Amino acid sequence: MHAHSRLTAFALVAATFALAGCHATVDARWASSNDTVDHWKKAMPTLPVEVRGALPDATNAQIAQAIPNATTVGTSGLTAPRLVVELGNGEKPRDDAYCAAPAKDSATSGAQARVSMTLTICDGTRLVASSRTPIDPAKTPVSALSQRVNSLKKLALIGIARGQIEEYQVQG
């Protein structure tokens, strides 16, 4: 791993913990040696974002309008790299099946105190990494979701970087 990549990873760690808070989680156990921070950092700004789920006061379509490059459920291609943003209390991504099939359009019913926002990096049908944070729909306007997505992108990159650092330490 290059020194620049390590410095980027450590900077991302500090920034994301400041933005995401202590309750955010990341899982990048599926990332391969080809899934570098530099690769995904360069790709993220132009990747399509598939929005799954909804909030009590916002539909799937309204949320997709608030997030750059976002589409509603089932309209993004499953074979191309993409990000999946899921809102609700669904299961965390566990394997490639999460990226291999589009989710059903589900709404969050009723006024829930907390739901989760999960961002998943899918390389076609292959799961790469995911990051997740709780949100309070009553305190999180739709206009703020784009900032939350950016924080989760950084957290996913941290997960990939952490895996690379651990691999480097084992091999190095």
pLDDT in tens, 1-39: 455 555 555 455 444 444 444 588 899 999 998 899 999
Q: Taking Cα atoms as reference points, which of 42, 23, 31, 44 lies closest to residue 132?
A: 23
pLDDT tens-place string over residues 80-139: 999 999 998 878 899 999 998 876 655 555 556 679 999 999 999 999 999 999 999 989
What pLDDT score was predicted for residue 170?
Answer: 47
In sequence order, the 6+-apart residues with CB closer than 8 A to the CB of 95 are: 30, 127
Amino acid at 107: A
Residues of the chain with pLDDT > 90: what percent? Answer: 53
pLDDT of residue 163 exceeding 80: no
Residue 162 is predicted with a pLDDT of 80
Whether 167 shows a pLDDT value over 80: the answer reads no
Q: What pLDDT shows up at residue 96?
A: 93
Quick one: which of 106, 75, 102, 74 has its CA closest to 90? 106
- Report pTM: 0.80
Predicted pLDDT of residue 31: 92
